[in-house]
Each structure stands twice: as C-alpha cells, then as structure tokens.
A and B are shown apart, each in its own frame.
Chain A
C-alpha cells in the first residue's frame, strides 16, 4: 500500500551530487513529502520534508515539482557515509508515516 514509487537502487561517486527521485502522483493537497534514510542496521533518520516549496537544510535539498506529483532529494556532496536506503513518503500532518521499499543509494569511492 505504498503511496510513492522509487527506483530500487542507484549509485553515485563520492563527492558528486546524488539526486534521488520519487513519484507521489496521488498526493493530496494537504499532504507533505517526507524523506528519511536508514543506514544499515540503524534506526531511520529524518532528512527533510516539504509541502510545495523547495526546502534546504544542513543535510539535503528537496525539490518538489509544481504539480507536486514528484520530488527529488539532493545530497550535494555525497560521502561514503551517505550509503543507505532512502525512503520517500507523503502524508498529512496528523496521519501516520508509512514507508515503502525505498531506494538504496550506494556511494562509490
């Protein structure tokens, strides 16, 4: 019952930008887009969220298309420690988070 679709995996070179896509074509007007990541065997970690404007924080940038049907998480300078499963999800402010299978990002030296 995942509400988002992500490619299963991607890789990028260390030091380069990692652009992780996500489709959320059924997103409702009041739902936010959230990104989390899970480094192997650790608990998930919040990265960023947004409604319709692009967002940036110390970890990443979130670019949301104008129709809000897709978004891209950008890690501007990927490091080996960014290797993880990245989950994109959309939900209302008072609804629970649900996660799909995510995208496995492998950062290569």
Chain B
C-alpha cells in the first residue's frame, strides 16, 4: 500500500541540462498534481493532470517546463535547460476523484533539484 512515490529524491544538474522528475500516484488515484516549493517559500501549484490529459497548467512557467501523465507509467515533470532559479523542491500529489474529496491530496516526499 505504497503512497505517492517520487524519484529521484535528490537531483543535481548543471545549468543548461534537463531534469526529469517522476511521480507514481497512489494505487487507484487517477489525478496528479505538481507543486514547487522554493527555498523558504510556500507551495506553488504548477499543474494538474489526469491520465493522458492536462487539466490545469496555469501555474507552469511558459517555457522550459512540461508535464505528462501517460496511460501507462508515472507522471513526468520535465525541465529543459535548467537555470539556478529552478532549484527547488518539487512535490507531487494524487487524489482519487473530483468533487468532494478531490482536494484531499496525498503528497509524495518530494524531489529536490539543485542546479549548479
């Protein structure tokens, strides 16, 4: 009965490289959310996905960031050409449904990206 699994837990990249963060939701959950937490700041919503669909990407930076949740496999948050300002903790969360209970999210432990 594993919870939300994120990997890698820690990732170091040099400026200009790509970062790929993976998230496997809880079993039975078909809704995935990504949040970013900059050092000493609160959680900022990035994107909400269902299987094969992006539902709300209003918090995603316009460039370099993309997310997917394929029919098979984990959700992926991809950051191209990383810059130092991308250094943050990226949290994934999942929920089983929309409507009442939808915002009872289960979060993963996060992936901490450091850009050198």
Contact = CB atoms under 8 A, between A and B. Distances in A.
Interface of A: 32, 34, 36, 38, 42-46, 49, 87, 91, 93-102
11 contacts: A43-B4, A44-B43, A46-B104, A49-B104, A93-B101, A96-B48, A97-B103, A99-B42, A99-B45, A100-B42, A101-B41
B103 A32 contact: yes
Interface stretch (B13-21, B61-69, B73-81, B107-115): B107-115
Given A96-B33, A97-B45, A46 B105 contact: yes
Interface SS of A by simple majority:
loop
A44 B99 CA distance: 21
Nearest to B37: A38
Given A43-B107, A46-B105, A87-B43, A93 B48 contact: no
Nearest to B110: A43
A49 B44 CA distance: 20
Contact of A98 (B45, B100, B109): B45
B106 interface: yes
B52 interface: no
Contacts of B93: 43-44
